[in-house]
Amino acid sequence: MKTIVIAGAHAHIGKTTLARELCKLLPNSVHIKLGHGQRNPEKDNSYYKIGTPFTKLAEEHREKDYLIIESNRILEEITPHCVIYLPWKDPKPSAVMAEEKADIKRHEFIDNETVERLMAKLAVSKEIISKIIFLAGAKEAAD
């Protein structure tokens, strides 16, 4: 099971949209959202309260190949295979830590070494990692 965490500066910057797109791209994946509110039955995610242990998430979705987790705080508990960070003005405190741990940041270039490392960690092709980078709003550095 591979984990991708989508973190961000605050709400309403595209984390859920990105998670949905990654679930379409990566076979046998699930979108998990950790938050403060209540689950919205109209949304296509598995909603959990912030503070739910990763072990519970992994156990409840053990049949999945990819956990796409929308959360900053989960990074206090786990080191995922990939962290995608979506920046914006005035980031909330948990976003500062998330940005430091990011492998992919929106609007930034991703070097070839990072591309190769993420391909290996996520067990995906160059084509798939390039799509992930594109969907995240980042860019690959020229060869």
**CATH number of 75's domain:** 3.40.50.300
- 38 falls in which pLDDT band (50, 70, 90)? confident
In a domain, 95, yes or no: yes
Indicate left, alpha or beta for 39 from its phi (over 0: left) and psi (-120 to 50: alpha): beta
Query: What SS3 class is residue 86?
Result: strand
pLDDT given at position 28: 97
| Domain membership flag for residue 34 | yes
133 inside domain: no
**How confident is the model over 94-142, as pLDDT tens digits?**
888 999 999 999 999 999 999 999 999 999 999 999 999 999 999 998 7
Asked if residue 132 is part of any domain, the answer here is: no
Identify whether 118 is part of a domain. no
User: How far is it, in rounded angstroms, from Cα 60 to Cα 64?
Assistant: 9
The answer to whether residue 114 sits within a structural domain is no
Q: What is the pLDDT of residue 143?
A: 62
Domain containing 102 equals 2-108
Say if 7 falls within a structural domain: yes
Looking at the structure of the chain, the number of domains it has is 1
125 belongs to a structural domain: no
Q: Look at residue 44 in the predicted model and tell me its pLDDT.
A: 57
Mean pLDDT lowest among 4-13, 61-70, 87-96, 124-133: 87-96
Q: What letter would DSSP give residue 141? A: P
- The answer to whether the beta carbons of residues 29 and 65 sit under 8 Å apart is yes
pLDDT over 70 percentage in the chain = 94
Alpha helices in 4-102 (DSSP H): 15-25, 54-60, 93-101
